[in-house]
Structure 1
Amino acid sequence: MAIAPKTRSKTSAKTVIAASSVKPAAAVSKPVVAAKPAKAAKAPAAAKAVVKKTAVKKAAVKAETKPVAAKKTVAAKKASKPVEVAKPVPAKKAAAKPPSDVTSKTASKTTSKKVVKPIEAVLAAAVVAPAAKPVVKPAAKRSSKPAEEVTKKALVKKASPKLVAVPDLARSVEPVVPVPVSKAKPKPAPKQVVPVAVKPVEPLVAAKKPVKKSAEPVKAKAKAVAPPAKTAKSSTGRSKPVAKPVALPVAPAAPPAIPKPPAKFALQRPNAAAAGVFGDYVVAELAGEQTWAVSVRGTSLSDCRCSCADFRFGERGSCEHVEFALGSLLDSPQQRAALEQGLRADYSEVLMGYGAARYLRWRQGQLCPMELAREAQALLDERGRLPADDADAVGRLTGLLQMATELGAEVRVEAGVWEQVALGRDARQRVQGLAQAYPQGLESPALRGLLKLPLPLYQLESALFAACAGRALVADDLGLGLYAPAYAAAELFARHFGVERVLVLCAESAQTRWLGEARILSHASAQMIWGDAGTRQSQCQSLGQGGLEIKIASLSSLRQDLTLLQGFAPELIVVDEAARLDADALALLRRLDKGFLLMLSGQVLDEQPQQLLALVELLDRHRNGPWERFLSRHVRRSGQAMHFYALERLDQTLERVMFSRSRAELQPTLPVALVQLRAVPLTSQQSLLQQPLLADLRRAVARWQRSAYVSESELLHLQQTLQHLRRLAISPQLLAPEVGVADAPKLTAVAALTRELLGAAAEHLLVFCQWDDALSLLAARLQAGGTAFVQLHAEQTLAQRIELVRQWRDDSARAVLLCSDRAALGLDLQIERAALVNLELPWGEALLEQRLVCLADEHSRGLPLIQLLAQTGLEQAMLQALDGVADLPAGSLDGDASRQLLLGDEPSRFMQALTALCSVLTD
């Protein structure tokens, strides 16, 4: 059937960056082969007393059995090859004075602290040494031991022809990798002096030529390096100095800790006697009084629950309260172990999964029978979720629970599961119920009496969609009409789903129009909520004796009247111009929204995805899938920014919640004119002037009902009375010129329509009226408002009128044409993208068709026709009563002078029409 729409999270791990000790420069880049630590020579005599004898002996044996000697470097090979560190020079080839006791103590303290620097900084601070022996400062004492002589050359490296000494500031006992200087002549730089943090204090060597700074280690083979002082291997494989037992390696200084942000919450356990880490907690706000209930059932976010709205309606399926509770528990090693072990329950569970789309989960207990486990696994989809979308899936879920009962297995079902399943069943029942009520679809006779006036099929279609969806967005193109479908949908909700209270939220300037449309179209009682605080409160609290009740409130007063409107407890909320809602209005609407929701937009929103996404989030309040599909199919995130793509497929993605049509799509099926009724209230002056005219009309009808006789003169008098009432609805000045300038709501409404329609729904506007003097009053109102126009008079010649029509067509600044029925005779007014406004309601359909023919040809479809209608007067009664009267005699009411006298049975038919009119006429 055509009326039914198609039925359709991980805890962020805390990353702890520990300051690791810096490796030697030779171990940073893969191509560089780090030199093995040289076997240490005998330790100095001052250190022997405090080192174990066995360790000294082993080190001495190793030093004697494996002598180290190297004099040549292989500099001719390519720099891209790995660096091979040559064996250290024998100790007999170098002799230097040992450092003094004070110097040794200072160096020992220095080496106990590791200086951490990146390899780029070390290379940049390297010193170039000449090939000759370095000049050594004389020392007070000189030792002849080879090991001490070797340590004097630990940082001097020979290259052919230049050497670069690269000191390792991280560990003093590691060998230094020599790096040859590039052949290209480097730029001169100031001499650099680098203090070397090694145990023996070495003299600084002045560099003849600086070395370029390099971001990467240079790949080359190096010459031999002198071995450091005698060392002993630690358990980790790295050598440690054995000169003094107190100079043990110390852990590198940790980087300064980043200060943690101040705590926002506190974690409390309501039941202190509760066993284990799993259970219910309370997260309390430190700076306020708010609290949230958090249930912890595992380390996964999907295993936790929170009572806040962000958890239930958010996209992540988590919230800051759950993350705080989990983080606090994981800080304790005992609680972390218990959480990682998981909740081991004997019973199985059917749980709710939260996020952008809600789903059902299965958690198998320890005592779950194998038969039940196999049945549950068979129900899971490819994402491991239980089905809950269609009737068959719900039946299989019910069957699973029945099997558990038969097997004596305990299966617990989370409360939110049944609510989610019930929402799906409600949606299916709405579609089935409407299909049964209207078996012929849009052609069903029962739909014709839905409102006081029959609706075109395209408006009935949008009303039926809204009723089927329950929560929908109707975004039809401007001119297709939104008021009538909204009231038709409200009538369907009331007729089939028991809705009694409807709230319409619109702009303050549109409240009167919504009220007028309700009185014209709907059978329900309607009332505006406006005025001071006391008046608004009484209006919200006043309810009828039953049936459908409609309240019309302003969106701008939503914040101040939120409590009053919540007291009204609307079951259906209709939101006009939903695309203009900002974030604050949407948040307030979310607090008020508890049932059915219908959002309206006078423009297609495919090209406004940002606004559309916010509306879909509100429409998909129960997270049945449309919002999640929008995010996954049309949104890419880059930081905080959103990028939208594939917008041409939005209709398919949102087919369950959005009904949107452009005029071009409906063009072949549209009628010639799309009639929009614009209700206009009467002023107190107009109401006062029409009372005696209505009394005369009622008396004449009552006399005809008693005697079945009406004279010709009385018929003429009745026609004049009707004409006075119709002209009075335009302006009091037409009936009583002596009143001077008076308020005329119809003339004000036309001025507003010119601003609304021109440039949006139409490029030209034609205003029709029977009377030239009424159009002259309108011309003065437009001129006072700064609107340019062209006016045709019946007294003008045909040539003059043709020239004025040409100006209207060609001059875009004068896009408004004022024309009477007599002035339009003999003129071709057809033009593309034009709209028609009737200043008064025609008595019969013949005049309406005549006006349409002037503007539209046989191929025209969907011409906007705005009919201004005065409330609480003759025109409203005409619309309600005369619509069902067939072949109404026109008389002279539509300007036909030849119909002044009625012939044959026309007087009787005319009086019958007036009788029906008086039955619905109100003062």
Structure 2
Amino acid sequence: MTKSKKKRTVQAASKWVTTDEEERALRRERAAEEPMRVRPLSSSRAELFQDYAVSRTDVPDALPYTVELRSLGEPVNSCTCPDFRKNFLGTCKHVERVLASVRRPKRNEPAVSPKAELFMTREPYVPLLRIGAGVPSDAARKLAKQVDTQGRLRRTDAAGLAALIGTCEAVAGRVSQEVRDFLTELETREQLERVKAAFREQIIEAEGAAPFLKLPLYPYQIDGMLHLAFTGRAMLADEMGLGKTVQAVAAAAVMREIMGVKRVLVVAPASLKAEWEEQVRTFTALPQEVLFGARHERLLRYRHTPAFFLIANYEQVVRDWREINAVFQPELVILDEAQRIKNWRTRTAQNLKRLEARFAFVLTGTPLENRIDEVYSLTEFIDPSLFGSLFRFNRRFYRFGADGKMAGLKNLGELHEAVGRIMLRRRKDDVEEQLPERVDNTYFVEMTPEQTVRYKEYEETVARLCHVAKQRPLRPEEMERLQNALACMRMCCDSCYILDKEVRDAPKLDELEKVLDDLWAADPQRKVLVFSEWVRMLELAAERLKKRKIGFALHVGKLPQQMRRKEIVRFKENADCRVFLSSESGGVGLNLQTASVVVNLDLPWNPAKLEQRIARSWRKHQKNRVNVINLVSQDTIEHRMLGTLKFKQGLADAVLDARGDAAAFEQENARGAFMARLAEVMDTALQVPVAGGQKRVLEIPADQRLGALLQSENPGVGLCLARYGGDADQVQAVLAVGRPEAADALRGQVEKTHGVALPPDRVVVVTPETRALLLRLAEMGFITLRQDAAKRIFDTGAGEPPPSPDLVRRCGRAREILDVAKRQMRMAGVLAEGCFGDEADKAAREAVCRAAGTLILFAADVPADKVTYPMTEAWVTAVKADAEVDREQVAVLQTAHFGLAAEPKTFIEKAQGFVGYCEDVLEKRQMGGGRIIHFNKS
């Protein structure tokens, strides 16, 4: 009986749509199964309707939740747990556990509280008064005067609620803590509305200027600043280019002035941290710090930073959220490019939502790209009670078929209205009078015969698979082949060079050169952004620009962050640098309004990504007309993608901006219409070719070529496995053990040996620690590892990456340098003991300058054999710029190199510590990845 009940509940909970009763049953089941302790909080333990503390008994130091019990049968009880606050069921597992644990009422004892009870209802979220049977009649009359017949406030302002709380307490009623919190929030909100009105009037009169801002704001930016600052927890979803960063910085400054906010955590993609630093410096004089370094260094900064703005990237916060809550304790959290948390299933989204802060800003230009539950995830970070639990959101806004599967959308107007309570969104055409003109053009380009032949080969593969998909669902391996073939079709549209370096023809680049000639014939100073999804296409473009002696900057993900930043600065400040070549890494967050032309060498699948590219130029402070030029290969998948991009943009318009026809997306066959558009892109009308063509036979199998390449040019992996499809050379995915940063290089080697450019998520490099964990979990029976699922391509035997030859050389050179430095320190010690203070000081300074060569070897891009003594000032600067080097040790090096004054005895001690620090650095490098690097000390 118990087993069947459990099975039914789990099945109900796993469906897309459930009923309230199924959800309540699930919570009753959890209450019965999980080990919990219930403890009454009133001094009168015999009192039934009181507050109870409920805590887990299987979790050490588990914090209790408080349950307020008012009824044994009605859903009017309360709990302080997160689930209760957003499920709108009036119950949770803690309430159900209390109901199961308390004594049953005695004969003639009521099943509801006899007191006056003031608590919050869930839907709508308002205070409600219930006058129990035990309340004296005169007290009941006083209470009744302040509420309507349903028990709700007649005066809904803070003063009205405060008066009701006072009356309720005077007649010995119980006031829920949630009501008191609501009163505080209401009073704060009313006060802020008054301040907001006065503040807005002042700043508009000052034409956007404020004493705490260095530069004035546009009128629409004033509204955005006030929306964020005075809503407190809010979303700013302006289209790209309208200055969301500036509005958030200004709003934080307002909150510092008016609300006393002292600590702000900015969470942004790593590539945008420098951009935030620049914007904060440009618009305010507030202290800031960009978070760098290893975990132990970050933990120190959380405790000791004096900054108002602490700027971190998502990966750091995902790992450090506990310490951030406990130590840094931000009062305001700003998420930039918050689409990183739109998938509520990801670890990033889950950990970011554990951040504890009174205020929160969510900044995104694309709150919806593909699915409406992306909006749900973003709003959950701001206000979990806005839509409640996910099951309630699904029930309200998705249409489900008889089989329980999603069949369409509904109530999009209501969704737009609900999101509008916390979201402010302006599109460029809303504030067009403050923005420069933008002109979009699409140029169609014919492919070469070689491109066409290769394109048709992949198109035939797609046609076959689409034909199969009409008969039955594709298997996972078939879907992977379809995705790979589609990607290769798109690559061929750009240039065969992406797949085969022997073929260098690229009609799109021919067209690009014509476009540049036309642009510069009219205005030689115009700067141009050129985007492509494929790095090899950008490399080919770079070669052509070099031949024509045209200055350009390159911004791709494989470049180090500091190098990318230098490229951005060079493009902005150097008049001769007129072209900015960028992959998708430059499509988000960068301000490149010095350019007034955007050329897309290819089209992304997602319209939001296309707009992100364009917004790098078409944004505030742009004084010139912006030309957007899309280069599209004629009669190809790119040509057909144009309609699909418009469809996806239409869905975002309906939900976010209430534009277009929402009903068109709420039809029963909306899913079918979407699939039809995908079919148009895949071009399933193609005839399926008849099998029988000759396959090209390779002399050496692709897996052996890859193994040989890893043996000679290993990017940092010790074990490499590959999964193949039916075709022996049709690689589907690659898994390696080694250094995760080797993934890009490994992907390039797979492309070189197999002729297929796998998507980045199909080439994964895990650390040896992760592999060990997986093996341990397999031994314990939690997971199953299929030994026959992949082919072993390369294996060092240890499963760990071999050290690179360059690293071995650098470690050997570092050991030579340290041996000399240690001898110098021993000499300094002997001189100091003999009371030769000046000579000892000189020897210690020389030892420091010599030992610093170890840091140069790992901090600067200098050949190992070029690091010699004496060191140059540029090398000192390089050590100082390396965020991994301890700041105290940098000070010791500067004292030694520049001859700064220091007490000899103290400095010798610091010099000894510096040499030891350098030796620690070397040991860490030698132990990189867990493998000791051995070298000949002779």
TM range (shorter): 0.3 to 0.5
Which is higher, the Rg of structure 1 or of structure 2?
1
Report the TM-score, using the length of structure 1 for normalisation: 0.42
